[in-house]
Amino acid sequence: MNAMIRAIGLLALTWFLQVMVFRFGIFSNGWLIICFHIYGLILLPLDFPKASYLIIGAATGAFLDVVILTGGLHMAAGTFAGFMIPRWSELITPRDGFIKGHSINVNDDGWGRFIGLSILITLSYMFVLFAVEGFKWSLIPSAFAKALCSSVLNVILFSIAQGLFGQKPKTKGPKVSAYPWS
Amino acid sequence: MVLFVLLEIIALSWIASTHAYPQGRITSIGMKMSSSWTETLGRMMYLKDLKTTNVNLLRENARLRTAHLNSQKTGLIDTLNVTLNQEVWKSIPAEIIRYSSDFKNNILVANRGRASGIMPGMGMLDHGNIAGLVTEVTEHESLVLPIIHLNTQWSVRLGNDGAIGRMVWSGQGTEYATLKDIPLTELIIPGDPIVTTGFQGTFPSGLEVGKVEEVLVTQADKFQSVTVKLGANFKHIHYVEFLTNARSGIIDSLITLAPE
């Protein structure tokens, strides 16, 4: 339960930051855009029911659309990302599986798994966002290229956030030093 | 999956309602799909109507045939003279009243006999295709040996000027017969027509018998065999016509005068 509340809180925070700050993060004629709320989707616990990712993804996108007036673009992208999250997380699941309520983090899963999952989820989101925005079959390759560029930028951002605010390694042993003079 | 599709539809509808270009695209796709569906539906309706029309035509055909036969029974129309291959042949319509096609030696019984002018040796046609030969007649019925009888042989020709051969039934299905004694030099292509020679005096020459289905060549034999797809449909045979030529008797009597 705690993990769930923590994850929803984090999602709300990333969503808020997206609305307040990162919504202006549009560079290179729209080839690079920041969608920081995807970080909140990435940090959702990996043992949620599949349908809940769909609903959370769709709701996050829909709220964003209402606030920043993007008319359903983020909802379509969020729904697709929510649909893909369980499939992508299956790809990075270790042989013994994750513990209950586990969210992806660098400390437990390493940079490889974190970046891998982040790039897959972000790419799914960004691809649908750009594809639906273009709304033309001929623009699909360009949508994929844009999605790839933006995904790289966003994953760099998520990695910085993870490095700064992510779970820290627990200190081992007693806190009282055997060598008080050191 | 259903939830995913539902949410995507909601999102796309939202996009379509707020963005002009997707709105136009979706409307255009919708119109294309709608017109395509209407066209398909129209084609299906046309085919359905075609089937109904065909059934109606068949019924009308059957009605006309029955009326024709009834008018003949009442003496209004007896026989019909037709010109086949520059010869005048008398055509007598009849209805098949007994029929067997499950035996090796099949027989047909028609509802016209001596009283209607049917004589042994007359040929029988099914929709213009040769179908059998009258062997016995009573006052009002006639017995016909069809092509699909193991003891019958028919003189036929490949096309209008091809080789002459002997057609027999091998007992394998009512749709096929075998044409034998065709020289190996004869070029035969599946689909080639098989017609009557007229040599037997039963039918005029050039009447359709069937089409070449398959050519069978064996190295040991100097002749090739042909599987013939018969034109007569013995599975649906019902109304037939008998042919006779007034000059047949004269021609036959001429043959009997030939020295031994």
**What are the structural domains of chain B?**
2-70 (no CATH), 82-260 (2.40.10.350)
- The yes-or-no verdict on residue B6 having pLDDT over 60 is yes
Residue B81's pLDDT is what?
Answer: 59
Averaged over B159-177, what is the pLDDT?
Answer: 87
In a domain, A176, yes or no: no
Classify residue A71: in a domain, yes or no. yes
Closest CA to B43 of B51, B56, B57: B51
Give the closest-approach CA distance of B35 to chain A in angstroms: 21
Chain A residues 65-124 with CB within 8 Å of chain B: 65, 71-73, 75-76, 79-80, 83
Count Cβ atoms within 10 A of the Cβ of residue B251 and give its class: 0-12 exposed, 13-18 middle, 19 or more buried.
Answer: exposed
Distance between CA B74 and CA B72 in Å, rounded?
Answer: 5
Would you say residue A69 lies in a domain? yes
**Residue pair B231/B208 in contact by the 8 Å Cβ criterion:** yes
pLDDT at A5: 86
Contact A76 B4 (CB under 8 A): no
Residue A115 near residue A155, CB atoms below 8 Å: yes
pLDDT value of position B75: 46
Residue at A177 is within a domain: no
Higher pLDDT, B20 or A165: A165
What would the pLDDT profile of B67-93 be if each residue is shown by its tens digit? 665 565 444 345 555 555 556 677 888
Which chain A positions have a beta carbon within 8 Å of B6's beta carbon? none
**Phi, then psi, of B257 in degrees rounded to 5:** -80, -10
Residues of B in contact with A61 (CB under 8 A): 11
Residues of A with CB below 8 A from B22's CB? 132, 135
Angstroms from B2 CA to nearest CA on chain A: 10
User: Smallest Cβ distance to A72: which of B4, B11, B21?
Assistant: B11
Percent of chain B with pLDDT strictly greater than 70: 87
Determine, for residues A132 and B17 on separate chains, whether the beta-carbon distance falls below 8 Å. no
For residue B99, count other CB atoms closer than 10 A to its CB: 16
In this structure, what DSSP letter does residue A168 have?
Answer: P
A159: phi then psi, degrees, rounded to nearest 5: -70, -40
Identify whether the C-beta of residue B92 lies closer than 8 Å to the C-beta of residue B242. yes
Q: Please report residues of B whose CB lies closer than 8 A to that of A66.
A: none
Check CB contact under 8 Å for B8 and A51. Answer: no
**Mean pLDDT of all residues belonging to chain B:** 82
C-alpha A109/C-alpha B163 separation (Å) is: 88
If phi > 0 it is left, if psi is from -120 to 50 it is alpha, else beta; for residue A146 that is alpha
| Number of domains forming the structure of chain A | 1
- Are the C-beta atoms of residues B101 and B86 closer than 8 Å to each other? no
Residue pair B213/B190 in contact (Cβ under 8 Å)? The answer is yes
Tokens, residue B126: 């099914």
- How close does chain A come to B230, measured CA to CA in Å? 55
CB A41 within 8 A of CB A8: no
A131 lies in some domain: yes
Note whether B151 and B145 are within 8 A (CB): yes
- Average pLDDT value for residue range B92-100: 85
* Interface contact A72-B14, CB threshold 8 A: yes
Do A44 and A7 touch, CB atoms closer than 8 A? yes
Q: Which residues of A touch B23 (CB under 8 A)?
A: none
Chain A residues touching B29 at Cβ < 8 A: none
Query: pLDDT (tens digit, 9 = 90+) per residue, B179-192?
Result: 988 888 888 888 89
- Mutation site for A-interface testing, chosen from B1, B2, B9, B15 by largest number of A Cβ within 10 Å: B15
Characterise B57 by phi-psi region: left (phi > 0), alpha (psi -120 to 50), beta (else): alpha
Which class for A131: exposed (0-12), middle (13-18), buried (19 or more C-beta within 10 A)?
buried
Residue B224 CB burial class (10 angstroms; 0-12, 13-18, ≥19): buried
* A179: in domain: no
- Cα(A83)–Cα(A57) distance, rounded to whole angstroms? 8
pLDDT confidence bin for B29, thresholds 50/70/90: confident
| A16 occurs within a structural domain | yes
Q: What is the separation, in whole angstroms, between the first and last Cα of chain A? A: 41
- Structural domain span for residue A13: 2-165
Contact check, Cβ <8 Å, B19/A71 = yes
Residue A77 domain-assigned?
A: yes
- For the ranges A158-172, B108-122, B199-213, the lowest mean pLDDT is seen at A158-172
ipTM over 0.85: no
Query: CA-CA distance, B9 to B4, in Å (whole number)?
Result: 9
**Which residues, given as ranges, of chain A have pLDDT below 50?**
none
The answer to whether the CB of A162 falls within 8 A of the CB of A106 is yes
User: B11, A58: Cβ pair inside 8 Å?
Assistant: yes
Q: Do B11 and A55 touch (CB under 8 A)?
A: no
**Do the Cβ atoms of B165 and B181 come closer than 8 Å?**
yes
CATH number of the CATH domain containing A159: 1.10.1760
CA distance A2 to B133: 97
**Among A residues 128-167, those touching chain B with beta carbons less than 8 Å apart:** 132, 135-136
Q: Which of A22, A34, A6 is nearest to A165 (CA)?
A: A6
